[in-house]
Amino acid sequence: MGTIKYNWLMKKVDLHIHTISTVKDYPFNFEMDSLVKYVQSQKIDVIAITNHNVFDRKQYEQICSHLPSTLVLPGIEIDIDGGHALFLSDKEPQALYAFEAICKQIAPLVNSQDDTIPFEQIETIFKDFSDYLVIPHYDKEPKLPSDTIVKFGANIFAGEVCSVKKFVTALKNRNSLVPVLFSDFRVETLPYGAVYPNRQTYIDINDVTVNNLKLCLRDKAKVGLAPTDGHDLFQWSSSGLCLSTGLNIILGKRSSGKTYTLNRIDKHFGGKALYIRQFSLLNTKDPNSIEQFEQEDKIKQERIASEYLKPFKEIIEDICQVPTMDSDMYMLEQYMKSLVKYANEQHLNDVYSKTQMFNTPTFQSFELDELKNLIDSTERLITSKTYEKIIEDCLDKNALKILFCRLVEKYRQLYLDNLLIDDVNVALVDIKRNLQMKSSATRIPDIDLYAVLRNNRKRQRFNEVAHNLQKQRIINQRSVSHFTVSTSTRPYFNATDMKQGMQVSLVEVFNSYSNPYAFLQKLKGTAIESTDYYKYFVKVEYKILNSLGAEVSGGERTEFNFLSKVKDAMTHDILIIDEPESSFDNIFLKEEVNTLIKEMSQTMPVIVSTHNSTIGGSIKPDYILYTEKSVVDGYVVYKVYEGRPDSKLLKTPSGDSINNYIITMNSLEAGEAAYNNRKQGYDLLKN
């Protein structure tokens, strides 16, 4: 047990490769040399050409001729019911001819990014799926819907996932399909510094045919991510280096290549790794220092505040459209004066002022927003796929359709009425103007008294809502280990408190802070954007508290930053940490860091570089890597030895070996002699 074994009977396969840029791809130019280099550098035994909804036989045969030592299977990736699925065929002439004929029927059906083909149409075209290997996007976007997978019946048993983490999750889930991991590589010339994808699957198979693949891919025991122990290890480099799907420790002397190796791993994962670099959490001039942490804090604070204040922001947008009290009072005053004047000037009435239209008010149009919302809601109930079963259990679909039609009919009727009312009002205003010009009597101006009353009530309610908002309260609180992250609101204390970096004086504005509506009118006279008015009504504070409820110190902020970053790793494919001991004391490492790292390694690969015995010795890793640097013919050469913690020897893929016990003692304890001396010293202190 202890040594790394490479099982050369396992076949390394990549059954998802693109060589044609279609409407479903970003634009790229296929390069044959790049494909050959990819296959050779990654030592791939079997590939499949699977372009979106198209199969080019001529190109396929050219690829086969350029890769004589590699089995190249014909395939296609088809858009079905909004998801994707791979279809692979054998390459024998008869099978290839039949497959090409099917693909020619598929190609015309997808002409845009949004086009997809119903399962029933695919079933009609293929007639019999049993001649092909069908692999859906399973835990990978865009996923083939589970209902569609069921329709394929026994023809689907394996599913493509997007990462090592997803692969391991599917392996552990007894109800999941057999997972496979492929590159989904668009074959083109790589940009400078880029590396070929390392997403391939090892399959325990000898003679590769579609039928044999279908037999193997029914058994999770026959797939893996490394030649040996493929459920626990995965291969990440073209040289054959592996990592555990759990917890990995990288050991080595200073400047031996630990960080260099971590950088290589990070590069291979193409931005899908969370990499916590050495010293990045300390308060230094490093760009990833405390300043960045505070900036991230501010972004989180603004996001929480914006979400909480979103309804109030909408209220402000509405109240800004309401005329001011002075404006309404002026209109009301003018109306009353005109009314009194009209009563006092009855003797001036003439043939023009006595007409009914002279003082007829304009007609109010119908409000359609509520009706429009009802139509939209009913339509969502009818068209919902996600909750279709629940809706149909409670509501009759035909009744919903009748309701929808009735609402639309009513909407059309009222919409037409509004058009007619608008035309009538235009004519009415014109007639009243002409009558007024010919008459010496005073005309009563139009006024919407209900609107005046409604506006006043809106202003009152706005003040009530704003006063309630300004009360001190906690709006969000969460725990990160022994820290508490608290977001709270309170009223502003003074103009300086309110300023928020603005280069303007807010003293005059703040004088009206106790009257929210008047305060809003003052804000309108400043250079503040109207979309930001809501921020000036209440102060949002974001605090990180320690276990005693006090705000954290500088060192505690670093600890919190680390714990937060590690928690965020769940959205990534792998977690990489470079020498966390450079930022923390041993107690925190043992009680917090070790526990959290071990917990994370249960769901994703974790790699920790260390020379600290608190981490390296007590965390009980699943896999060990040891780096060594040497100079050969003037060139720096980095070696990486690997193996299980209980391996006597760690080995490189080329077969070089090193004693595990010796390198562990040297890396974590500065050698056996130093370890024994320290142990004796501790024993003396203890006694």
Q: What is the pLDDT of residues 444-455, one digit of tens each?
A: 777 788 888 999
CA distances from 110 to 8, 52, 121 (A): 41, 9, 13
Has this prediction a pTM greater than 0.75?
A: no
The larger pLDDT score, comparing residue 375 to residue 352, is at 375
- At 279-303, the pLDDT tens digits run 665 544 444 455 565 566 667 777 8
> What span, in angstroms and rounded, lies between the C-alpha atoms of 640 and 248?
13
Considering the chain, what percentage of its residues have pLDDT values greater than 70? Answer: 89
**522-528 long-range Cβ contacts below 8 angstroms, 24+ apart:** 524/320, 527/502, 528/502, 528/504
pLDDT of residue 3: 38
Give residue 156's identity as a one-letter amino acid code.
Answer: I
- At 119-140, the pLDDT tens digits run 999 999 999 999 999 999 999 9
3-state DSSP assignment of residue 206: coil
Rounded mean pLDDT, 10-29: 95
CA distances from 380 to 145, 397, 407 (A): 20, 12, 14
Rounded mean pLDDT, 75-81: 97
- At 585-631, the pLDDT tens digits run 555 555 677 777 888 888 899 998 887 554 555 678 899 999 998 88
Rounded mean pLDDT, 456-485: 90
Considering the chain, what percentage of its residues have pLDDT values greater than 90? Answer: 51
Compute how many other C-beta atoms are within 10 angstroms of the C-beta atom of residue 571.
Answer: 8
> What span, in angstroms and rounded, lies between the C-alpha atoms of 265 and 252?
16
Provide the H-helix boundaries in 110-236. Answer: 119-126, 146-152, 164-172, 210-216
Q: Which residues contact 56 (CB under 8 A, 6 or more apart)?
A: 19, 20
Residue 583 has pLDDT above 60, yes or no: no
Largest CA distance in the chain: 121
Give one DSSP letter per residue of 229-268, joined into a string. STTTEEE-STT--EEESSEEEEEE-TTSSHHHHHHHHHHH
Alpha carbon 440 to its chain's center: 71
Determine which of 3-7, 239-243, 269-273 has the lowest per-residue pLDDT on average: 3-7
Determine which of 201-215, 285-299, 503-517, 642-656 has the lowest per-residue pLDDT on average: 285-299
Pairing, β 473-480 against β 539-545: unpaired
Q: What six digits make up the tokens of 209?
A: 């045919």
Question: What's 502's DSSP letter?
Answer: -
Helix then strand then coil, % of the chain, to nearest 5: 45, 20, 35
pLDDT of residue 424: 92
> What span, in angstroms and rounded, lies between the C-alpha atoms of 182 and 636?
33
pLDDT of residue 317: 92
> What span, in angstroms and rounded, lies between the C-alpha atoms of 232 and 617?
21
Q: Are 79 and 24 in contact (CB under 8 A)?
A: yes
In total, the chain counts a number of residues equal to 687
pLDDT of residue 5: 41
> What span, in angstroms and rounded, lies between the C-alpha atoms of 645 and 667?
14
Determine which of 466-470, 540-544, 591-595 has the lowest per-residue pLDDT on average: 591-595
> What span, in angstroms and rounded, lies between the C-alpha atoms of 41 and 36?
8
Rounded mean pLDDT, 639-666: 87
CA distances from 648 to 2, 3, 7, 409, 531 (A): 6, 8, 20, 82, 66
- At 387-444, the pLDDT tens digits run 888 998 899 989 999 999 999 999 999 999 999 999 998 998 888 888 878 877 777 7
CATH of 10-233, one of 3.40.50.300, 3.20.20.140, 1.25.40.340, 3.40.50.720: 3.20.20.140
Give residue 666's identity as a one-letter amino acid code.
Answer: N
pLDDT of residue 417: 94
Closest CA to 511 of 529, 528, 492: 492
Q: Are 147 and 119 in contact (CB under 8 A)?
A: no
pLDDT of residue 575: 92
3-state DSSP assignment of residue 546: coil
pLDDT of residue 341: 80
Where in the chain are the domains? Answer: 10-233, 251-272+572-686, 325-461
Give residue 353's identity as a one-letter amino acid code.
Answer: S
What is the CB-side half-sphere exposure of residue 158 using CA atoms within 13 A? 28
Determine which of 18-22, 23-27, 590-594 has the lowest per-residue pLDDT on average: 590-594
> What span, in angstroms and rounded, lies between the C-alpha atoms of 351 and 549?
83
